[in-house]
Amino acid sequence: MEPGAGAACARSGSSWKPSVYGPPRNMMKLKRFLLRYYPPGIMLEYEKGGELKTKSIDLLDLSPETDTEKLVAVIRETEPLITESRTAQLKQLICRLQEKLSQQDDGRFYLFKTLQAHILPLTNVAFNKSGSRFITGSYDRTCRIWDTISGEELQTLEGHKNVVYAVAFNNPYGYSDFVLIPGSDMMWSSKIHSARYYCCLVYFTQSRDKVATGSFDKTCKLWCAETGKCFHTYRGHTAEIVLVTLSFNTDGNQLVTGSFDHTASLWDVVSGRRVHMLIGHTAEISSVQFNWDCSLIATGSIDKTCKVWDMRNMKCMATLGGHQAEVLDVCFNYTGQLIATASADGTARVYSAATGLCIARLEGHDGEISKICFNPKGSHILTASADKTARLWDVASGSCLQVLGGHTDEIFSCAFNYESDIIITGSKDNTCKIWRMQWRDDVEQYYL
């Protein structure tokens, strides 16, 4: 296995004895388990018809208080790959997940390094899966890859003709570092869109790599990350496309776009056909995101609201209000049970995705909040603001745990690593800062 490819891995022995004619072609044989900490789940790697496949058992409602025996019984009833001989092993993995969820994460962050990253303001930052590297994008039309611990610049990616607005590693499914930098006219060719890129989100399935890009030319394009071939051009919006999200299901067959035309559109990735328009906002869409299992979509808007859409009937199930100015960013926690919103009014809010009720108000910034994200565990929220600070918040209470200061201009972007013990902030002051959790520097880390 590659480094960091599994927190817990158990290869299977098999009591099945082949006949002289060989095993049935449709027979499934479990090969190993892979443990996924965030969101809680267990990946099953199995062989069927001579091919290696994977499936996921999502445990989104798992908590340290969950009755393990009952949960194992439920899983065994619905999953034929889990045989009696695997029961003890499955229970052990679930217990390990519960231990992970019960770990305290109330340490304070300290400023580890400040990097003079670019000659112009930063636009975005992103970690690789293990957190050992991160990438920065900038108005100077370059991207830079950095070593998180040493602060050493590992690579400069040059040649872009426009501002690099978005950067991404191949999370959450990638094991090796593969970097995609849409926002660049030269990523695949000199004529990808007829207008400049504005946004992107990168999605990697188990079998195919895809990149979606949205543009001021009112179209969205889906690309093969390896060859640069354009699979589809999605047309239908009547204004610029500012947000693109690919669904995080195994097949990677859904795509949602948000536009200045006040609507979001759901597309079938394979056919390129628009499946549905999400109509209801009265101003431009600023942010759009699927939850983990793609049962919900959240859209943020300049109309000061966030809307939650039920994917089963394509209807708006809740309008999340309360902000006094534009909603600039929205995000789900990893389990999809909570939604956080960031606003130009200088506040952030946390809502229940199921009820639409506001459960926490995050107040303290003196300027608009342009970026908000949950840590992978879902216990903390990070916000980046025009007041030159980032703030760390407790989700349950809404209290500010720490103010991350030191930047001399507004902060555009922020990110947690997978273990939630390192934070990156990127600023208009041309620098990025690396923050580390003080009491966890010597903790052994595992990654899927």
Residues 261-274: pLDDT tens digits? 999 988 887 788 88
The model's pTM is 0.81
Can you give the chain as a three-state secondary structure string? CCCCCCCCEEECCCCCCCCCCCCCCCCEEEEEEEEECCCCEEEEEEEECCEEEEEEEECCCCCCCCCHHHHHHHHHHHCCCCCHHHHHHHHHHHHHHHHHHHCCCCCCEEEEEEECCCCCCEEEEEECCCCCEEEEEECCCCEEEEECCCCCEEEEECCCCCCCCCCEECCCCCCCCCEECCCCCCCCCCCCCCCCEEEEEEEECCCCEEEEEEECCCCEEEEECCCCCEEEEECCCCCCEEEEEECCCCCCCEEEEEECCCCEEEEECCCCCEEEEECCCCCCEEEEEECCCCCEEEEEECCCCEEEEECCCCEEEEEECCCCCCEEEEEECCCCCEEEEEECCCEEEEEECCCCCEEEEEECCCCCEEEEEECCCCCEEEEEECCCCEEEEECCCCCEEEEECCCCCCEEEEEECCCCCEEEEEECCCCEEEEEEHHHCCCCCCCC
Residue 255 φ/ψ, nearest 5 degrees: -140, 135
Q: Rounded CA gap, 327 and 336, in Å?
A: 19
Residues 80-99: pLDDT tens digits? 999 999 999 999 999 999 99
Give the per-residue pLDDT at 15. 34
Q: Buried b / exposed e across 244-264, counting CB within 10 Å, b at 16+?
A: bbbbbbeebebbbbbbbbbbb
Give the per-residue pLDDT at 123. 83
> For residue 18, is the peptide bond before it cis, meaning its omega torsion is within 30 degrees of 0?
no
Torsion sign (Cα): 346, 259, 290, 296: positive
Residues 378-396: pLDDT tens digits? 999 999 999 999 999 999 9
pLDDT band at 413 (very low <50, low <70, confident <90, very high): very high
Other CB atoms within 10 A of residue 2 CB: 7
CB 372 within 8 A of CB 350: no
For residue 299, the Cα-to-chain-centroid distance in whole angstroms is: 15
Residue 225 has pLDDT above 70, yes or no: no
| Mean pLDDT on 340-355 | 97
pLDDT band at 236 (very low <50, low <70, confident <90, very high): confident
Residue 363 φ/ψ, nearest 5 degrees: -120, 135
How far CA 316 is from CA of 254, 264, 294, 298, 307, in Å, comes to 18, 12, 15, 10, 7
Lowest mean pLDDT among 66-75, 111-120, 135-144, 145-154: 135-144
CB 145 within 8 A of CB 187: no
Residues 33-64: pLDDT tens digits? 999 998 899 999 999 988 898 888 999 999 99
CB 138 within 8 A of CB 164: yes
Which residues 6+ apart lie within 8 Å of 366 measured at CB?
346, 385, 387
Angle separating helix axes 68-78 and 87-102, nearest 10 degrees: 130
| Mean pLDDT on 226-246 | 73
Q: Rounded CA gap, 108 and 90, in Å?
A: 34
Longest dimension (CA), the chain: 75
Q: Rounded CA gap, 279 and 181, in Å?
A: 30
